[in-house]
Amino acid sequence: MVFTAAGAFLKRFVLKKNNILVLGILHIVFAMIPLLQIMLMIWLRNAFVPAGAILEFSQIIVVCITVTFVFSALSGFLFVAYSNILSDIKKKSMTGQSYVIESLGGIIGGIIVSFVFIWFGFTFQHIMLIILVNLSMIIFVAAKNKSHILHGLGLAGLLSLVLMFFFYDFDKKYFAELFPGQKIVKLSQNPYGKIIITETDGQTNIYENTKLFWFDEDVIKNEESVHFPMLQHKSPQTVLVISGGLLGQYNEIKKYDNTTIDYLEINPGIIELIRSDSMFSDPGLRTIKSDVRSYLSDCKKSYDIVLLNVPEPQTLSQNRFYTTGFYEMLKTVMNDSSVLSLSYPAEQFYLSDESLKNHEVIFNTLKKVFRYVEIIPGVSSYFLASDKAIRSDISELYSRSPVENQYVTNLYLDDANTLNRQSQIYASFTDNGIINTDKMPVVYQNQINYWLSSVQGIRFNPILIISIAAGLFMLLFLFYKPDAAAMLVTSFTGTYVEISLILFIQIMFGTMYYMTGIVFTAFMTGLVAGGLAGSRMKIRNYQNLMVIFQLIVFAFSAGIYLMMRFIPLENQNWKSYLIILLLIFVAAFLVAFQFSLISKKRIEEVVKSASMNYSSDMAGGAMSAVISTVLLIPLYGFVNSALIVTAMNFLTLVYLFIRKKKLQN
Amino acid sequence: MYFDQEKISKREFVKLSLAGIGGIILATNSLKSAKVMTTSLFNSVPKVTKTEAKYYKKTSRGYECELCPNFCILKEGKLSSCRTRLAEAGKLNTIAYNNPCSVNIDPIEKKPLYHFYPDSNSYSVAIAGCNLHCLNCQNYSLSQVSPLETRSYDLSPEKLVKDAEAAGCKSIAYTYSDPVAFYEYTYESAKIAREKGIKNVFVSAGYINEKPLRDIAKYLDAANIDLKSFNDETYKKLNGGTLQPVLDCLKILHSEGVWLEITALIVPQWSDKMDEIKKMCDWLVDNDLADYPLHFSRFFPVYKLKQLTPTPLDTLVKAREIAQKAGIKYVYIGNVPGTEANNTYCPKCKKLLVERKGYSITQNDIVKGLCKHCKEKIAGKWE
């Protein structure tokens, strides 16, 4: 969005007179860029990143900038150019209408991606299709304008595209590059993402969205995750397994007599993929394809053991598995002697400060809900929670149990050692009492700090980063004319609302692939409606209108704050979902409405204003996308970050009021 | 720029400032909670004792550390690559002294040392820092930071030996990070432990210069050295070091009479090429190291090397077969519970001698260092 803003702004100085041939060539380049972007990403990765290594923070930044720079800048540039052409044809400012057309394109694109692409084809096939649409449009425009050169270029592009499509399997090549040294056995895609099965030297590996999900012979993890909690129970009969593929855990659970398993998997594709495994012929195994919270809120059963195999809290939406609200829901399907187990990655011999912080927060959060909580240090840290006392002498428990293991045995585990490691963890706790909630994602914040400091070697200084972000925003705010500055803040607010409400939906309903299209459509529809309403509105007093409009944006942001504060996230509620969709629509409506209002300029002002307004809109959105997800929500939580956005809108209102006389259309 | 063209009047500025203050007051409530969290990020107080480092010289460019092949040149106030040596007040100090961040009692088999007083416990200690920077370091939380950043114990060499003795440990293992980075502490502790009859175990990547290695070897009883690959390029890219010093280290420890066991972590894409494994084994045999156990260890994705799969078991089995064919007498597979490749077999009569389940010994047919069945000498330090 930053580069889009820059591209839009650049149009003021470059190619002032629109030339169909030049614009056509630029559009051909624009259409081909996604293909080049992915190839560039693969090349950059192979050239600069050691095999199998994660990207360094600086590399992530460089790759992001390198691959998005030209595409985004061209996107902004072309928007302003096309909007100017439209205005020239209609002899009046058509910037607002262009915005509406762009949004309509967004809606159609969003619907196609959400409802078609997720079911059919792979990345490169989609890209090819998009290039095809763009080239066809260029050929059509070239023919209409009798630009023979452009026509020829378009046809040449089309021909090379068809040749590439038939003679080169980009997707296969892409996955081969992504998983070097591994044989791709199966690729499948569903709305939850891609599932890839690979084979290396007889070992089967399953990836979910390029993350290793399961592999053969993971004896230690399978045994620790099952036996640490199950050895605690006198007679575990009913087991709820939440996510994790079950393949490794099934045989371990079945070592206990008469156990029945309810296996809940969020991604139904995983179940389909492993369906052929013999374990599915077991009548004691029931599979549930559902979101966890959705299942728990309707579940009437009581389980002896709950194995929670959820990912680390690496995203704001994954934080939902580490909150008091979620643990309270889990407790409703447990009885007095039930045991809950969840693991959190831990270094074996020394926990870094950041890792220790999350150990303490998760411990505190569980303790808020369960009477007894213990951390059993294994290859990961296992958090066991129950209303019955938990024992940490696993080796002793094993020696009294009839099960036979390879790793969780008294031959491998030494209780004194376990207790020593456990006491080291407890002794390092600060007793700060901090807990993790859906609205205050402390665990996610700590996880970012952990990743930055322990893995990337970067010390995160939130105060410094906030100061830089606030300073940059202030500079940009003062750089723009007052109405464009207000646009900056409204766009910031709109994006903040969209992001935070999408996260709200994710917390309530889980992975929201099915809902992505609906949310996206709600936002884009809001943009279209706002754009149309704004461009049709007759302006009598521009100055008053802008101040009143800003008052409305302020009131809206205050409303969002109140909603954040009072809407409960613990239970799924379709009314809440509809309210959220409506609010997303309103946020987008306000952004587009204001854009249309401030774009109503005299025809000679169109180029200047279109680039200025579009760039402020994009800049506000871009800054919000980064600041909201990296700083505001992780650091301050949902409620307090909404309060900060409300304060920003209040200050903007005051600013507009003071500078009312400078407002001109 | 626009704010140049439309200057704000004083009156407007005052109004704007007041509005800003109002906004800040409004937001104060939200900042309170963040303050609690941000201050709580920096609550550990590491203990640091400085003592003069061994093996360095003053040069015109700064202090040149001669402990390891990195040969760091440090200007005043700067830390070495291993993060434990600090140029300060006209000398080179080590800040890795008396301040271990991890202390545990481990079975000796966990080091892994399979031929060194089996079934005994080793008092295991580490101070933060390491002179290599492996992308797959499994102890990165303590090896890739300095002692200035870790919570630590206050444990002098004297107290360490006393504690190890009190815990009934047969040995002290300098381990987890790399004892080269806390050389002086290891040296002093090993000296005292030797006097008290406690064995010293050096668990290291073996990236150390000859003089310091020969000096400390006098007090070492056993060492487990990581031979991370047999390719210099891999050493450079994956570990931030070079191969030759590690090979030299193995030869030196052998010549000094220190019991050796070698660990080779097989990392897919990096060190899993069978021709390189063959070369490595041939080199060990050619250098009279065939009697020392070789442990092929399974890799798991960790730290910065998370985009790889764990080592397939077949790869480890193939590597073991190659090593055995090359003439290495005792080849084990590590990080794989339940495998028979954890057991010791007589190289002559091929009978099972030591059965290991987990870190415990369930059968031991080695009597006075000989195979109970055919009387073949089994290399190692046995009770």
**Whether B40 and A357 lie within 8 Å, measured CB to CB:** yes
Give strand ranges (E) for A51-192: 183-190
A221-226 mean pLDDT: 95
A188-213 mean pLDDT: 84
Residue A646 CA: distances (Å) to CA of A555, A620, A628, A652: 8, 15, 13, 10
**Whether B38 and A349 lie within 8 Å, measured CB to CB:** no
Q: How confident is the model at residue A504 (pLDDT cuts 50, 70, 90)?
A: confident
**Whether A417 and B23 lie within 8 Å, measured CB to CB:** no
Instruction: Flag whether pLDDT at A382 surpasses 70.
Output: yes
Return the pLDDT at B96.
97
| B270 → chain A, closest CA residue | A51
**Whether B140 and A650 lie within 8 Å, measured CB to CB:** no
**Whether B269 and A220 lie within 8 Å, measured CB to CB:** no
Q: How confident is the model at residue A417 (pLDDT cuts 50, 70, 90)?
A: confident
DSSP A220-275: HHHHHHHHHHHTTSSS--EEEEESS-SHHHHHHHTTSTT-EEEEEES-HHHHHHHT
Return the pLDDT at B41.
29
A400 min Cα distance to partner chain B (Å) = 18
| A204 → chain B, closest CA residue | B312
**Whether B138 and A357 lie within 8 Å, measured CB to CB:** no
Q: Could you tell me the two tokens for A600?
A: 């109503």
pLDDT digits (tens, 9 = 90+) for A581-628: 999 999 999 999 999 888 876 555 666 677 778 888 888 988 898 899
Classify the C-alpha dihedral A180-A182-A188-A194 as positive or negative. Answer: negative
Return the pLDDT at A27.
92
| CB nearest A181 (choices: B23, B269, B304) | B269
Q: How confident is the model at residue A497 (pLDDT cuts 50, 70, 90)?
A: very high
- Choose, out of B14, B103, B304, the residue to mutate when testing the contact with A (most A CBs < 10 Å): B304
Instruction: Flag whether pLDDT at A571 surpasses 70.
Output: no
Classify the C-alpha dihedral A64-A70-A73-A79 as positive or negative. Answer: negative
| B237 → chain A, closest CA residue | A50
Q: Which residues in chain A have Cβ-Cβ distances shorter than 8 Å to B120? A: none
Q: Which residues in chain A have Cβ-Cβ distances shorter than 8 Å to B36? A: 432, 434
Q: How far apart are CA A314 and CA A448, in angstroms?
A: 7
Question: Which one, of A569, A580, A572, lies nearest residue A440 by Cα?
Answer: A569
B176 min Cα distance to partner chain A (Å) = 7
pLDDT digits (tens, 9 = 90+) for A292-316: 888 998 999 999 999 999 989 988 8
**Whether A203 and B312 lie within 8 Å, measured CB to CB:** yes
pLDDT digits (tens, 9 = 90+) for A175-184: 888 888 888 8
**Whether B107 and A445 lie within 8 Å, measured CB to CB:** no
Q: Which residues in chain B have Cβ-Cβ distances shorter than 8 Å to A50? A: 135, 237-238, 305
Q: Could you tell me the two tokens for B257?
A: 């009479």
pLDDT digits (tens, 9 = 90+) for A431-467: 889 999 999 999 998 998 888 887 777 777 788 888 8
Q: Which residues in chain A have Cβ-Cβ distances shorter than 8 Å to B102? A: 349-350
**Whether B27 and A52 lie within 8 Å, measured CB to CB:** no
**Whether B23 and A445 lie within 8 Å, measured CB to CB:** no
Residue A199's H or E segment, with its range, is strand A193-200
Amino acid A425 reads I
pLDDT digits (tens, 9 = 90+) for A539-567: 888 889 999 999 999 999 999 999 888 87
Q: Which residues in chain A have Cβ-Cβ distances shorter than 8 Å to B145? A: 352
Residue A540, helix vs strand vs coil: coil
Q: Which residues in chain A have Cβ-Cβ distances shorter than 8 Å to B307? A: 52-54
- Count how many Cα atoms sit within 13 Å of the Cα of residue A248 in the half-sphere of its side chain: 23
Q: How far apart are CA A39 and CA A37, in angstroms?
A: 5
What is the residue whose two structure tokens read 């830390």?
A: B79
Higher-confidence residue of A609 and A48: namely A48
Residue A567 CA: distances (Å) to CA of A141, A563, A575: 50, 6, 10
Q: Which residues in chain A have Cβ-Cβ distances shorter than 8 Å to B151? A: 353, 428
A441 min Cα distance to partner chain B (Å) = 11
A655 min Cα distance to partner chain B (Å) = 7
| A435 → chain B, closest CA residue | B37
| B340 → chain A, closest CA residue | A406
Peptide bond into B112 cis (omega under 30): yes
**Whether A644 and B30 lie within 8 Å, measured CB to CB:** yes
Rg, chain A, Cα only = 28
pLDDT digits (tens, 9 = 90+) for A118-176: 777 777 888 888 899 999 999 999 999 889 999 999 999 889 888 887 777 787 778 88
Q: Which residues in chain A have Cβ-Cβ distances shorter than 8 Å to B12? A: 658-659
Return the pLDDT at A61.
81
Q: Which residues in chain B have Cβ-Cβ distances shorter than 8 Å to A478? A: 2-3
- Choose, out of A349, A445, A489, the residue to mutate when testing the contact with B (most B CBs < 10 Å): A349
Q: Could you tell me the two tokens for B5?
A: 């063209």
Return the pLDDT at A512.
59
| B315 → chain A, closest CA residue | A201
Return the pLDDT at B19.
44
Supply the mean pLDDT for chain A.
88
Q: How confident is the model at residue A48 (pLDDT cuts 50, 70, 90)?
A: confident
* Residue A520 CB contacts under 8 Å (≥ 6 apart), including other chains: A106, A107, A110, A114
Q: Which residues in chain A have Cβ-Cβ distances shorter than 8 Å to B304? A: 53-54, 455
Q: How confident is the model at residue A260 (pLDDT cuts 50, 70, 90)?
A: very high
Instruction: Flag whether pLDDT at A345 surpasses 80.
Output: yes
- Choose, out of B41, B300, B318, the residue to mutate when testing the contact with A (most A CBs < 10 Å): B41
**Whether A643 and B101 lie within 8 Å, measured CB to CB:** no
Q: How far is CA A338 from the centre of its chain?
A: 33
Question: Which one, of A454, A547, A639, A615, lies nearest residue A5 by Cα?
Answer: A615
Q: Which residues in chain B have Cβ-Cβ distances shorter than 8 Å to A311? A: none
Q: Which residues in chain A have Cβ-Cβ distances shorter than 8 Å to B318? A: 201
Return the pLDDT at B37.
27
Length of chain B: 383
pTM of the predicted model as reported, rounded to 2 decimal places? 0.85
pLDDT digits (tens, 9 = 90+) for B164-185: 999 999 999 999 999 999 999 9
Q: Which residues in chain B have Cβ-Cβ distances shorter than 8 Å to A213? A: none
**Whether A635 and B37 lie within 8 Å, measured CB to CB:** yes
Chain A with chain B: Cβ pairs closer than 8 A? 199
| CB nearest B313 (choices: A203, A348, A462) | A203
Residue A506's H or E segment, with its range, is helix A482-509
* Residue A185 CB contacts under 8 Å (≥ 6 apart), including other chains: A197, A198, A199, A204
Return the pLDDT at A602.
55
Ranges in chain B, pLDDT < 70? 1-46
Q: Which residues in chain A have Cβ-Cβ distances shorter than 8 Å to B358? A: 407, 409, 411-413
**Whether B30 and A640 lie within 8 Å, measured CB to CB:** yes
User: DSSP secondary-structure letter at B173?
Assistant: E
DSSP A21-59: HHHHHHHHHHHHHHHHHHHHHHHHHHHHS-TTPPPPHHH
B188 min Cα distance to partner chain A (Å) = 23
Q: Could you tell me the two tokens for A8?
A: 């839009």
- In chain A, % of residues over pLDDT 90: 42
Return the pLDDT at A404.
94
What is the residue whose two structure tokens read 């506000």?
A: A620
